[in-house]
Amino acid sequence: MKNNFKLHQWLSPSIYIVTTVLGLLALIYPFLLPAVISSAAGEARAAEMPLLMTVMLGLSLLVLIYEVQGGAFNTKLVALLGMLVAINAALRFIEVGIPGPGGFSPIFFLIILTGYLFGGRFGFLMGTLTIFVSSIITGGIGPWLPSQMLAAGWVGMSAALLVPIVSRVQSINRHLPSRWERSSEILILAVFGFLWGLLYGLIMNLWSWPYFSGPADQFWLHGVGVYETIQRYTSYYLLTSLVWDLGRGLGTAVLLVAFGLPALRALRRFQRRFTFYSEPVEEVRTSDKAEAAQDASIQVQGRI
């Protein structure tokens, strides 16, 4: 029984790690091919690569979403997530009106904030479902969707990692006025948003790169090694995407600086109302640590 409990504890992190590794490996497929396959089979492998990449990303996404959706989701969080996804998808319509550079998209603003405040699971679902819902509405469903959803999900999931960083920075700066403390939080979020703006483009380009590139025998085989493949991808990225992605990164960072503080304040106000829950009295009495757990759950149940 005890072993089963231990396995239970390990299962979730294992699924997160394995699915993330699978997703990452699927994305870096073009970089690995030259190192391992011979030129004879290379043409066929290269041709099937985009399809295989999509399938693997899809599988990784399915398992990850199943694992993430199964956690402590009550009615309030389902409604909250649905509504936030609706707001974010609507922002995609409104983005035409917001003066933004290049590949700027306002959707990362809420994905980062919700991941940071409500935890990695919530952030992941926020990212994936925002892309999914807006794709259904705007007619953007395609083979690029799994990688878009996974990448946006990673944005939300990784935003939860900022919590200890912000706490550490704030504890160092605790002697400073509270205004500075809040600014450091927003600054960290903005830097994070900027970096993800670039990284998101870097990930998404991997899907289209094999199509825009030359034939397989020039790209992955005939002595073209991993190093040169990276070099070629770098040139592709610099030529086609850097400016576009800088627009996305800068736009997200500017949004976080401009609206981050009031949005965080509003979300924190609602966080308590959405994440409190009551436990049956019997259960509380039977458990030794129930009282403490109940207090803790009322306070910070928000971090799913």
Partner 1 sequence: MINTWVWIAWLVTALIALSSTRNPLYLVLILMCLTIVNNAVSRSTHLGNDINSGARLPISPLRLLVMLVVLSALFNAAISHYGETVLFYLPEWLPLIGGAITLEALIYGALNGLVLFGIFWTFMILNQALPSRRLLRLIPRAFYPVAVVTSIAITFVPATVRNFHQIREAQSIRGHRLRGLRDWLPLIMPLMVGGLERALALAEAMTARGFASGGKSGGQFWERTLLLLGTLLVLAGWTLRLTERWFLLGNTMLIAGSVLIFGTLWILGRRSPRTTYARERWSLQDVIIILGMSLVLVFILIPLPFLDRLTLPYEVYPKISLPGFDPLFGVIIIALLLPTLFLHHQSTHSHS
Residue 239 found at the interface with partner 1 (CB under 8 A) = yes
Q: What's the full length of the chain, in residues?
A: 304
Residues 133 and 88: their CA atoms lie apart, in Å, by 9
243-253: buried (b, 16+ CB within 10 Å) or exposed (e) per residue? ebbbbbbbbbb
Binding segment for partner 1 among 124-132, 160-168, 188-196, 278-286 (CB under 8 A)? 124-132
Task: Work out whether 182 is an interface residue with partner 1 (CB under 8 A).
Answer: no
Distance CA 116, CA 114 (A): 5
Residues touching partner 1: how many (CB under 8 A)? 93
Ranges within 20-79 binding partner 1 (CB under 8 A): 21-22, 25-26, 32-33, 36-38, 41, 47, 50-52, 55-56, 59-60, 62-63, 65-76, 78-79
Q: Is 1 in the site for partner 1 (CB under 8 A)?
A: no
Cα R_g (the chain), whole angstroms: 22
Q: What are the contacts of 143-147 at 24+ separation with CB within 8 A?
A: 143/50, 143/51, 143/54, 143/207, 144/204, 144/207, 144/208, 146/54, 146/57, 146/58, 146/60, 146/61, 147/27, 147/53, 147/54, 147/57, 147/203, 147/204, 147/206, 147/207
Please give the span between the terminal C-alpha atoms of the chain, in angstroms, as a whole number: 25
Q: How far is the CB of 174 from partner 1 (least distance, A)?
A: 29
Query: Which CB, 75 or 171, lies closer to partner 1?
Result: 75
**Helix (H/G/I), strand (E/B), else coil: 74:** coil
Among 6, 98, 230, 292, binds partner 1 (CB under 8 A): 98
- C-beta of 71 vs 225, nearer to partner 1: 71
Which residue's CB is nearer to partner 1, number 13 or number 164? 13
Is residue 215 a contact residue for partner 1 (CB under 8 A)? yes
Q: How far is CA 95 from CA 87, 92, 277, in A?
A: 12, 5, 36
Complex with partner 1: residue 170 or 208, whichever CB lies closer: 208
Among 27, 57, 85, 107, binds partner 1 (CB under 8 A): 85
Give the contacts of 167 (CB within 8 A, at least 6 positions apart). Answer: none
Q: Under the criterion CB under 8 A, does residue 136 sit at the interface with partner 1?
A: yes
Site string for partner 1, 137-156 (x = CB under 8 A): xxxxxxx-------------
Q: Does 284 interact with partner 1 (rule: CB under 8 A)?
A: no
User: Looking at beta carbons only, is 11 or 161 nearer to partner 1?
Assistant: 11
Q: Choose, by CB under 8 A, the member of 9, 14, 287, 299 that binds partner 1.
A: 14
Beta carbon of residue 244, minimum distance to partner 1 (angstroms, whole number): 12
